[in-house]
Amino acid sequence: MGVTQAATVNPRSASARVADAQAGDARAWSWPAGVRVWKAHLDRAERAEWWEWLSEGERERACAFARAVDRRRYVVAHAALRSVLGGVCGVPAARVAFSPDPSGRPRLDPGGGRPAPDFNLSHSDEWALVAVAPEGWRVGVDVERVRDDLDPLAMADRLYRPEEAARLRAASPGAALTGYFRLWTAKEAFVKATGGGLARLGDVLVHGEGHEGSATCERSRSLGGPVRWLGVAAGYAAAVVTIASTPAPRTG
């Protein structure tokens, strides 16, 4: 369905390899040694079978959108998720099933007693990202359209750690806006990877330049993981975070 592999990330390595592979290419669907991220363009004609792949709850949420474009993008994004996971697990997309984990985070049920990879979905306007991690890792991904209708410095003062806001104030106006969304996607991806309310956006401290960095939880410094920023498309920011799936320590 036109899903493209955007990146392959080894969670134990500090490097990320950006590569493209069409959905019809078996390399896009084979189980990797590390974490993989696929991207899907959402502004495309919807196919009838994609609607059939969705759960009843997803169909209800799709129908609740007021704008047709938002409904279509939602359907395409969730169909892309099933297309990727079906390829990873070797089952038809229509048979991909989910169940909530103890924290309420959706998890994959691959069937046959096989270990379930972790996954995460994010979409913003015309792009979606699907991240999949092997057993032993949790993954979070976030993509956001970079908007110029907000004040990044004022927002950072409200939402980010003081040292992060200071870095943005030291940057040029254009770099501050881009930097604001880079930090936002890294924080959102970290919160999604941890799940269960273990970290809030304001608890997450992000470091890094270029394509690589790290994120930690200020409430529990032992909870952290690498950040990879992805070049999805012009005008968008995106990040993926991986953390070990061992139980997180109590934070009091």
Say how far apart CA 107 and CA 221 lie, in whole Å: 26
* Fold of domain 3-141: Ribosomal Protein L22; Chain A (3.90.470)
* SS3 call for 218: coil
Give residue 61's pLDDT band: very low, low, confident or very high (50, 70, 90): very high
Given this model, what pLDDT does residue 197 score?
A: 64
Residue spans of the domains in the chain: they are 3-141, 145-244
| Angle between the N-to-C axes of helices 152-159 and 173-194, in degrees from 0 to 180, rounded to the nearest 10 | 30
Global confidence as pTM: 0.85
Q: Average pLDDT of 144-161?
A: 95
Would you tell me the crossing angle of helices 173-194 and 162-169 to the nearest 10 degrees?
A: 150
- Is pLDDT above 70 for 252? no
Sequence-separated (6 or more) residues with CB below 8 Å from residue 167: 179
pLDDT of residue 32 exceeding 50 = no
Q: What is the mean pLDDT of the chain?
A: 83
* pLDDT above 60: residue 69: yes
pLDDT of 47 > 50? The answer is yes
Q: Does residue 33 have a pLDDT over 80?
A: no
Contact 158, 186 (CB under 8 A): no
Model confidence pLDDT, tens digit, residues 71-82: 999 999 999 999
Q: Do domains 3-141 and 145-244 have the same CATH topology?
A: yes
17, 231 Cβ separation under 8 angstroms: no
Tokens read off for 179: 């930097």
User: Helix or strand or coil: residue 50?
Assistant: helix
Does residue 238 carry a pLDDT above 60? yes
CATH architecture of 145-244: Alpha-Beta Complex (3.90)
* 28 vs 236, more confident: 236
CB neighbours of residue 156 within 10 Å:
22
Residue 113: per-residue pLDDT: 67
Q: How many CB atoms lie within 10 A of CB 168?
A: 21
- The confidence score (pLDDT) of residue 191 equals 92
